[in-house]
Chain A
Amino acid sequence: MEFSLWYLGLAAAFGLFMAWGIGANDVANAMATSVGSKALTIKQAILVAAVFEFAGAFLAGGQVTATIRNGIIDASSVESNPELLIFGMLAALLAAAVWLLIASRKGWPVSTTHSIVGAIVGFAVVGIGVEAVYWSKVVTIAASWVISPMLSGLLAFFIFMSVQKFILGTKDPLKNARKYVPFYIFAVGFILALVTMLKGLKHVGLDLSYFQSLIVAIVSGLITMSIGTFAISRIKIDPSQDASFRFTNVEKIFGILMVFTACGMAFAHGSNDVANAVGPVAAIVSIVKTGVVVQKSPLSTWILLLGAVGIVLGLATYGWRVIRTVGKNITELTPSRGFAAELAAASTVVIASGTGLPISTTHTLVGAVLGVGIARGIGALNLRVIRNIMLSWIVTLPAGGLLAILFFFLLKSIFYNGPII
């Protein structure tokens, strides 16, 4: 291919830029609840985000990457002109990144996932043809955007109800918090490990059976649980702090739990959102390498690494400021609520990551927060803002699509000299 190096260079650059954007803007929503409820300081949040975003992206980002890479477009439709797919994927990356940049400047609630999916579908329909899109897959993805916030909301509702029943609503909440919080911590370690083991680790040379995965997940749950129990035992209970608000000390215990759910949230976010940046890169790389459109070729490890590094770079250069701002504005959320929302959202996102469904982490988290609210757990929620966030994809999809079409024809006019289809 004539411009192979160009394509690879552009793909890596755009992918890195997109990953940077995710780290700079998106991570904040995942981390801000922990900072806002003061379970983590801003420094701790950045550390947690860096480590677990990286781990999530690198270890569990493969499935969704595969979907973005070749699950949306039927590559056989461009078999004679593989370059079209390269232009399209480059255009989609650029479109999503630019759209996100505009939207975050303006403070619009925009999801990376919606942008990239809209962009890919957009260029495919106009640049290749309506039949090039796996519409059934697109419908599945769109359905998952509706279902994921509802599922995480439902989960959050029941998690928070269980917290009320077993801890907060009892006669001795402090004692029961010590007793039951470790089980929630177990759940965090267990779910994350299980989904990761079941779906993602072949590319790092670990291929476990279902049963082995289950064992590993239980062990990892137990390990997290014992770390948590140790941390809880070190909490200083100061009854004088309960004078004005009787649950101050109980909330401290939930604060420990929330450190774990924050890790889970960062992991989940990394595992799902890295694909938005590196999915198109992976598609381009495989075409450039083989010269043809191959549907099934293994995902190069360096591509996930590129995305993981990009996210951490975004976090380090810009994202930490956004986390601080967003966290500072969340003042009404205590750890007992924040953890329920995060555990529900992280579980939902990780399951979606394992299934290869690109969903919006922010929407999932908003759904979870609403679930806690419906369980009468949160002082006040702005329904109008929630509605606007939930409906944002109606604008984001066509915006991403139109921009992608624009960039597609631009790139085509620069590089393309093959037959016109």
Chain B
Amino acid sequence: MSGSYFSAIFGKSPVRPLQEHMEKILACVCELIPFTEATLARDMEAMLVHHRNIITMENEADALKKELRMRLPSTLFMPIDRRDVLEVLTMQDMVAGSARDVAGLIVGREMQIPEPMAKTYKKLIKRSVDACQQAFDAINELDELIETGFGKVERKLVGRLLMKLDIIEQDTDAIQVKLRNELFKLEDELHPVNVMFLYKVIENTGTIGDRAQRVGSRLQLMLAR
């Protein structure tokens, strides 16, 4: 079509796809809440359903990731660094990976969370989801950041969101410590192999918060340029 060359100067901004990817990641991690409920209720059927949901959503996020990567040729001129976009994307992707690992381990070994740990474990899951939600909120500010041309007011707002993300992540660390402590006290009553893997579950769950925080740090680097 004639004249169409002019519209071709506008590329497709990576911001919206990046936000959609994070939205998918968040939905994937959120699925851990009903999954944990099912685990604690020892409802294997429900566990399998939610585990499958997690895997499906992780795959969908993966497809979004690949699509965005393909759409970012190096000749694209953007207000944000191309490398930063790709790295935020990778970080986001890894969050879903942790969620999948947690659910996969529990389903695969048909694990049970000991009753005395249940309350704290639920708290850890809840807080990890909070961390993802917070990271998502920060990523969601990217279009506003670009709209304002990375204005000071908007940058401060994102800075506050990221500060809160750090606090949530510290929370998850503290809960992990408490959880390990509880597990330590139960060690004698449990099968040693189960104990080993329970530590592994705690560790994997903890990485969700860590990785959500790293999404935030990458975003911060993006703003600093």
B197 at the interface (CB under 8 A from A): no
> Which of A107, A381, A383 meets B2, CB within 8 Å?
A107
Contact string, A140-179, partner B, CB cutoff 8 A, digits 1/0? 0000000000000000000011001000111101000000
The contact of B10 among A24, A104, A332, by CB within 8 Å, is: A332
- B154's contact among A161, A169, A329, A389, by CB below 8 Å, is which? A169
CB of B149 within 8 A of CB of A376, answer yes
For residue A137, give the distance in angstroms from its CB to the closest CB of chain B: 29
CA distance A382 to B4 in the complex (A): 14
Q: With an 8 A cutoff between CB atoms, is A384 at the interface? A: yes
Contact of A380 among B6, B10, B144, B151 (CB under 8 A): B10
Q: Are B10 and A326 in contact, with the CB atoms below 8 A? A: no
Contacts A322-B1, A389-B5 given; does A381 touch B152 at CB 8 Å: no
- Whether A32 and B7, one on each chain, are in contact in the complex, defined by CB atoms closer than 8 angstroms, is yes
Asked whether B78 lies within 8 Å of A379 as measured between CB atoms, the reply is: yes
Given contacts A169-B152, A379-B11, contact A326 B144 (CB under 8 A): no
* A362 interfacial contact with B, CB 8 Å: yes
Q: B9 in the interface, Cβ–Cβ < 8 Å?
A: yes
* CB of A337 to closest CB in B, whole Å: 9
* Chain A residues, CB < 8 A from B13: 332, 378-380
Bound-state CA distance A164–B149 (Å) is 7
Mask, A177-194, CB within 8 Å of B = 1, is: 000000000000000000
Closest residue of chain B to A333 (Cβ to Cβ) is B10
| Nearest chain A CB to B142 CB, angstrom units | 10
A280 to chain B, nearest CB (A): 23
- Give B71-99 interface residues, CB cut-off 8 Å to A: 75-79
A252 vs B148: C-alpha distance when bound (angstroms): 15
Residues of A within 8 A of B1 (CB): 107, 322, 325
A373 touches B2 (CB 8 A): no
Q: Which residues of chain A have C-beta atoms less than 8 A from B4's C-beta?
A: 107, 325-326, 329
Q: Which residues of A contact B (CB under 8 A)?
A: 24-26, 28-29, 32, 36, 104-105, 107-109, 160-161, 164, 168-171, 173, 245-247, 322, 325-334, 336, 362, 365-366, 369-370, 373, 375-386, 388-389
B residues apposed to A, CB below 8 Å:
1-15, 75-79, 143-144, 146-154
3 tightest Cβ-Cβ pairs between the two chains A and B = A379-B13, A169-B151, A380-B11
